[in-house]
Amino acid sequence: MELSLLLFYGFGFLALSAAVAMVCFVRHPVAGAMSLLVTLISLSGIYVLLEAEFVAVVQLLVFAGAVGMVLLLAIVLLGLRADPLGPLGRGESVVKAVGAMGALTIIAILIARLPASLFALRQLSGSAPEGYGGFRALGRALYGEFLVPVEAIGVILLAALTGAVILAKQRID
Amino acid sequence: MLLVAAAKTLFIWTVVVVLFAPVVSWLVRRQSAAHPAETATPSAALLHPGASFLAFVREDAFPPGSRRWLRAAAPFLVVLPALVASAVIPFGGRYSLGGSSWSLVAADIDWGVLYVLAIGALAGYGTLLAGWASDDDRSLLAGVRSAAQRGSYSVVLGLSLVGVFAVYGSLKLSDIGLAQDASLPVFGFLEDPGPLEWLRLPCWGILLQPLGFVMFLVSSLAANERPPFDRPSHESEPLSGPPRGVSGVHFGLFYASEFIQVVVIAALCTAIFLGGWSIPYLSQATIVGGLSPLFGQGAATVLCMLLHMASFFGKVVGMVWLQIRLHGAVPRLGYKRAMDLCWKCLLPLAVLNAFGTAAVLLLCGPLPGSP
Amino acid sequence: MLSEYVGVLLMLGIAVSLALGVLAIQLLLGRRRPASPEPDASLDSEPPGASERPSESIGFHLLALLLVVFNAAAVFFYPWAASFGETGAAGFMAIAVFALPLAVAWLYAWRKGALEW
């Protein structure tokens, strides 16, 4: 079996099991946050395997690096120590896990049955050029063809920061 | 192919752990001793890390009420990023030997520099968790502060390198190294440099991006909580962090990770700003061409490779020495000062540096030979 | 190009096995004893143990959000720098327009005291 396929299965399994663990098995919020971190890192590993390097870096820097830190800081500073949901009931986690898997399967089947034309945003002719997910190619695309969304992101970030500052200041004052 | 990668990885490991850790430890001891005679003899000092490790293994005291599994895991979160980051740093260039080309990097990733940043972004979790796991309010606050400092400076770390990326046109560390092998005519942007053509500067990062170098060095030190930014985790501070609730091997690991961080910071600065493995004014072609008549093509290439490696490690030692001098020379920055420096000074400077570099590139044209 | 990552995996593998090895050595060879609570010579006479949360905790939530926003912004600078040779002046104007709302956001945060620690 090829190494990249093996890695894909490995990362995929890691991501899924960490996610399931976070939802169904983990009792302490900090452990939940760490499971989320594992999921995010595994996902970025999959992005690297797909040669989508920019997305992988964004995932690691922004999601795993900053968003995960937001969650962990909130949990840690709010002092959530005791088990807020009560002890694990007998068989409760198994039921939850089965339920989650079942729901995911149903969603996957539904998506698979959607007409393909819904997702055909652009007809790609031939194979993707070398390094299409890399930074140079993405820079060319982002600051050329997809300029307007990038500028829009700038404005969204401004809105996000302004909102955060206002909310935080309200809390303090 | 796997064997080659394994060999390179193991080489980096042996060099960093076996060679550098004792050397750095000895240098630190020499630096902080008032009188050179106070330091142990070099052989004893070189064995010190190993002896300390054994001593740490014997003791494992823990304050009651702390979460042991997390206490055990947290130091690794701090050590692993520094180690894994060293995989992308090139300690030599690309050589063609016997028909195939060899590059002295364990992992020549296209976005190598950002790989280091991304891994480093995860290091903040280590100190935060260590502080939280000690179940002590002051440790928690120290852990949060250190995570805050690390996170803030990692943003600026990346931004300070944007100028470097623009100048060399690549995020790949080996490309940046290769570009620094060349030299640049100082007056090359003039139409007819004439007699001043001979005046050349090596294309080193520190010369092309001096502000970037300073910002990168400062941010690296702060993001890894090296002096002078080590207030959140220094042992004599009232609000000290991880060392309070941690003992045994975990304690030792925190300190081992410090040494590794020093070396990795030095190696990164060397690779990006100090020309990496290259020798100024003697490009690889010149060296091989000069030595071939004497030794033959193959042997000349190997000699060149060794020369380059020696040059790289020499520069790394220089940067390590610089960091240790800073340890003693610059007073420790308070937390508020450090955070102000990051958000109010370095952040705008880095962005302005990026724009300024871009403007200069537009006016004077790109670096000759950059993609 | 994917083959380059083998080095990363090897490095990670060595690092992880070293970490586990060290842990194993600690578990096997070390004595474990619970330490007595250390006499606290510092600030106040409160016994250690988390009673109430520090009051500066709001500041850290805001800092974390600042980190998210500026990390997300910084990430867009990297592809610009990598492709600067090709996008040239147009790319320069493009990123200047991108940086403008971010500069406003940064100034706003400073004015409102969000950058004070």
Alpha carbons C69 and B311: distance in angstroms, whole number? 40
C86 pLDDT tier (thresholds 50, 70, 90): confident
Residue pLDDT, tens place only, B186-235: 666 665 656 666 667 778 888 888 999 999 999 988 888 777 776 665 54
Can you give the pLDDT at residue B92? 78
Contact (Cβ atoms closer than 8 angstroms) between residue B82 and residue B264: yes
Can you give the pLDDT at residue B103? 73
Least confident segment among A5-19, A59-73, A86-100, B292-306: A86-100
Least confident segment among A71-75, B2-6, C55-59, C72-76: C55-59
Can you give the pLDDT at residue B39? 47
Can you give the pLDDT at residue B171? 86
Can you give the pLDDT at residue A110? 86
CA nearest to B208, candidates B359, B367, B53: B367
Can you give the pLDDT at residue B242? 45
Are residues A161 and C65, on separate chains, in Cβ contact within 8 Å?
Answer: yes
C72 pLDDT tier (thresholds 50, 70, 90): very high
B6 pLDDT tier (thresholds 50, 70, 90): confident
Angle at alpha carbon of residue A141, lines to A138 and A144, rounded to 5°: 140
Interface check for A53 against chain B (CB to CB < 8 A): the answer is yes
Contacts of A54 in chain C (CB under 8 A): 78-79
Contact (Cβ atoms closer than 8 angstroms) between residue B105 and residue C7: yes
Q: What ipTM was reported for this prediction? A: 0.81
CB neighbours of residue A86 within 10 Å? 9
Residue pLDDT, tens place only, B270-295: 989 988 888 887 777 777 777 777 77
**How much is the mean pLDDT over chain B?**
75
Q: Which residues contact A139 (CB under 8 A, 6 or more apart)?
A: C78, C79, C80, C81, C82, C83, C84, C86, C87, C91
Can you give the pLDDT at residue B216? 93
Are residues A164 and C50, on separate chains, in Cβ contact within 8 Å?
Answer: no
Identify which has the larger pLDDT, A115 or B310. Answer: B310
C93 pLDDT tier (thresholds 50, 70, 90): very high
Alpha carbons B149 and B141: distance in angstroms, whole number? 12
Can you give the pLDDT at residue C34? 52
Residue with tokens 């080996």: B174
Can you give the pLDDT at residue B245? 45
Scanning A143-162 for CB atoms below 8 A from C yields 143-144, 147, 150-151, 153-155, 157-158, 160-162
How far are the Cα atoms of B73, C58, C76 from residue A34, in angstroms, in the given order?
Answer: 12, 22, 27
Structure token digits, residue B169? 């046109």
Residue C39 pLDDT > 50, yes or no?
Answer: no
Cβ-nearest to A77 among C60, C79, C82: C60
Can you give the pLDDT at residue B24? 66
Can you give the pLDDT at residue C43? 47
Interface check for A105 against chain C (CB to CB < 8 A): the answer is no
Can you give the pLDDT at residue A121? 55
Q: Tell me the range of A159-173, C8-22, C40-54 where mean pLDDT is highest.
A: A159-173
Residue pLDDT, tens place only, B107-165: 778 888 888 888 888 878 877 887 777 767 777 888 888 888 888 999 999 999 999 99
Residue pLDDT, tens place only, A31-59: 888 899 999 999 999 998 888 888 999 99
Are residues B121 and A73, on separate chains, in Cβ contact within 8 Å?
Answer: no
Are residues A66 and B121, on separate chains, in Cβ contact within 8 Å?
Answer: yes
Alpha carbons A71 and B348: distance in angstroms, whole number? 27
The fraction of chain B above a pLDDT of 70, given in percent, is 66
A104 pLDDT tier (thresholds 50, 70, 90): confident
- Averaged pLDDT, B163-170: 89
Contacts of B370 in chain C (CB under 8 A): 85
Residue A154 pLDDT > 90, yes or no?
Answer: yes
Q: Which helix (H) or strand (E) holds C33?
A: strand C31-34
- Nearest-CA distance from C16 to chain B in Å? 7
Interface check for B107 against chain A (CB to CB < 8 A): the answer is no
Residue type at position B245: G
Question: Best of C68, C95, C107 to disrupt the A interface by mutation (most A CBs within 10 Å)?
Answer: C68
Residue B61 pLDDT > 60, yes or no?
Answer: no
Alpha carbons B349 and B342: distance in angstroms, whole number? 10
Pairing outcome for strands C31-34 and B100-103: unpaired
C68 pLDDT tier (thresholds 50, 70, 90): very high
B183 - beta bridge partners?
B202
